[in-house]
């Protein structure tokens, strides 16, 4: 299924080489500027009120109408061929972007692979809301730390596996794994 989008839209799958299943794991971030409608689909910005308080105390914090849990629910149903509501912002946006059903499924699979990783990153589930960040800290993206290899905020620290994989490292080939 991954081959469909790779063959019909090679410009958006340039990071994929001979290991597309793992290499497409960065796909949703790679295409976020082109397919910006899916920018809010990567996380659940559940507010964490470290200083106490509630939503009434921080009216500037607004949770998105879309989130990774709902996205994964609709994407996996779509991939399984189940009926998904025509009002689903996730599937309707993909269908608007790609007229070919196989391309839609290929795009949905890539997003699913990426989002499954995202939900295991702690800062994709919470936004610190306090007097310093009354609109939320964007999952740690606003929490600046001394930059090491381009990792300069708390969110990217987690994304890089605590500085182990900053940026976009090359994937280890199957041959390299066999030698371990």
Q: pLDDT (tens digit, 0 to 9) for every residue of the chain, 180 residues total?
A: 778 888 898 888 888 888 788 888 889 988 999 999 999 999 998 999 989 999 999 999 999 999 999 999 999 999 999 988 888 999 999 999 999 999 999 999 999 999 999 999 889 999 999 999 999 999 999 999 999 888 999 998 888 878 877 776 555 544 444 454
Report yes or no on 147 lying in a domain. Answer: no
147 three-state secondary structure: strand
Cα separation of 124 and 115, whole Å? 10
- Sign of the dihedral through C-alpha 170, 175, 177, 180: negative
List the domain range (segments joined by +) for residue 89: 2-127
* Tens of pLDDT, residues 11-43: 888 888 887 888 888 899 889 999 999 999 999
Report yes or no on 120 lying in a domain. Answer: yes
Report yes or no on 54 lying in a domain. Answer: yes
Report yes or no on 116 lying in a domain. Answer: yes
Cα separation of 38 and 92, whole Å? 11
Report yes or no on 37 lying in a domain. Answer: yes
Residue 168: its pLDDT value, please?
A: 61
Count of the separate structural domains present in the chain: 1
Residue 177: its pLDDT value, please?
A: 46
Evaluate if pTM is beyond 0.75: yes
The answer to whether the CB of 166 falls within 8 A of the CB of 149 is: yes
Report yes or no on 168 lying in a domain. Answer: no
Report yes or no on 180 lying in a domain. Answer: no
Residue 174: its pLDDT value, please?
A: 45
Which two structure tokens, joined as six digits, stand for 96? 């608007």
Report yes or no on 16 lying in a domain. Answer: yes
Residue 175: its pLDDT value, please?
A: 47
């Amino acid at each position: 299924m991954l081959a469909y989008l790779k063959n019909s839209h090679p410009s958006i799958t340039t990071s994929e080489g001979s290991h597309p299943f793992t290499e497409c794991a960065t796909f949703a971030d790679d295409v976020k500027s082109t397919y910006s409608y899916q920018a809010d689909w990567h996380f659940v910005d559940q507010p964490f009120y470290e200083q106490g308080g509630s939503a009434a105390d921080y009216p500037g914090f607004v949770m998105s109408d879309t989130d990774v849990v709902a996205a994964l629910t609709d994407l996996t149903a779509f991939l399984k061929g189940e009926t998904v509501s025509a009002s689903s912002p996730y599937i309707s946006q993909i269908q608007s972007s790609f007229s070919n059903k196989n391309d839609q499924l290929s795009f949905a699979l890539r997003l699913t692979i990426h989002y499954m990783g995202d939900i295991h990153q702690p800062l994709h589930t919470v936004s610190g809301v306090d007097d310093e960040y009354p609109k939320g800290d964007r999952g740690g993206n606003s929490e600046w730390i001394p930059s090491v290899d381009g990792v300069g905020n708390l969110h990217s620290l987690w994304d890089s596996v605590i500085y182990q994989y900053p940026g976009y490292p090359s994937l280890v080939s199957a041959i390299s794994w066999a030698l371990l």
